[in-house]
Amino acid sequence: MRLVLIGPPGAGKGTQAARLAEAYSVPAISTGDIFRANVKGETALGKRAQEYMSVGALVPDEVTNAMVKDRLGHDDLDAGFLLDGYPRNPEQAVELDGMLAELGVALDAVLEITAGTEEVTKRLLNRARLEGRVDDTEDVIRKRLEVYVESTTPVTAFYDGRGILVRVDGIGDVDHVTSRILAALDAR
Ligand code: ADP
């Protein structure tokens, strides 16, 4: 299973990615997690990424694309993979096409998890209290949501045009959303 997960910040991508990775026995690759690990490890990549993440902007494409290309080159992806948080703009989607073509594989589906602005803002502010993620402040959340609408929404249209977009409502409890996703992917 080669799957891309798209959804606004707070839609539950990370949570569902972990469950889907288990269901399909494939690694979940989260660009946000890789960036956060680099920030924590104070690597050069982390220092560069943090400038953008802390204000809710996208990390420059050349940095992100190179990082994903490197990850997709590892030899643990024969059974597939689940990409969480990439591609996040149309340029990255084109870049991903090139990487996959080089690897001789194709995406099976692109899953969009939907959730309204009010709901995701509430969830993110709640997560801020529980986890203290630095980009979960009200201003930065607003910016991340803007970036999502402007840059990432066109990516769903790109894959919809290709006939591989699966849209699932992300409202409801976590188990229900997982069942909904698995059913929608099964029904393709
Ligand atoms: P969320 O979807 O909740 O915003 P993520 O963990 O997916 O959280 O991403 C956190 C931040 O990491 C983003 O706001 C952005 O700065 C950076 N980031 C993650 N993925 C990408 C990407 N594909 N391109 C550019 N920046 C990214």
Using DSSP's 3-state secondary structure scheme, residue 143 falls into helix
Query: Across residues 19-23, what is the average pLDDT?
Result: 97
Closest Cα partner for 16 from 169, 133, 187?
169
pLDDT tens, position by position, 120-177: 999 999 999 999 888 999 999 999 999 999 999 999 999 999 999 999 999 999 999 9
Pocket perturbation via mutation, ligand 1, pick of 51, 58, 137 by most ligand atoms within 8 A of CB: 58
Would you state the pLDDT for residue 11? Answer: 96
Active-site choice (133, 143, 167, 180): 133
Is any atom of ligand 1 closer than 6 Å to the C-beta of 52? yes
Tokens 């890789």, located at residue = 34
Would you state the pLDDT for residue 133? Answer: 87
Is 162 one of the catalytic residues?
no
Q: Which CATH class is domain 2-30+80-187?
A: alpha beta
Quick check: 187 pLDDT over 90? yes
DSSP string, 70-134: HHHTSTT-TT-EEEES---SHHHHHHHHHHHHHHT---SEEEEEE--HHHHHHHHHHHHHHH--T
Would you state the pLDDT for residue 88? Answer: 98
pLDDT tens, position by position, 32-70: 999 999 999 999 999 999 999 999 999 999 999 999 999
Domain boundaries, the chain: 2-30+80-187
Is 19 one of the catalytic residues?
no
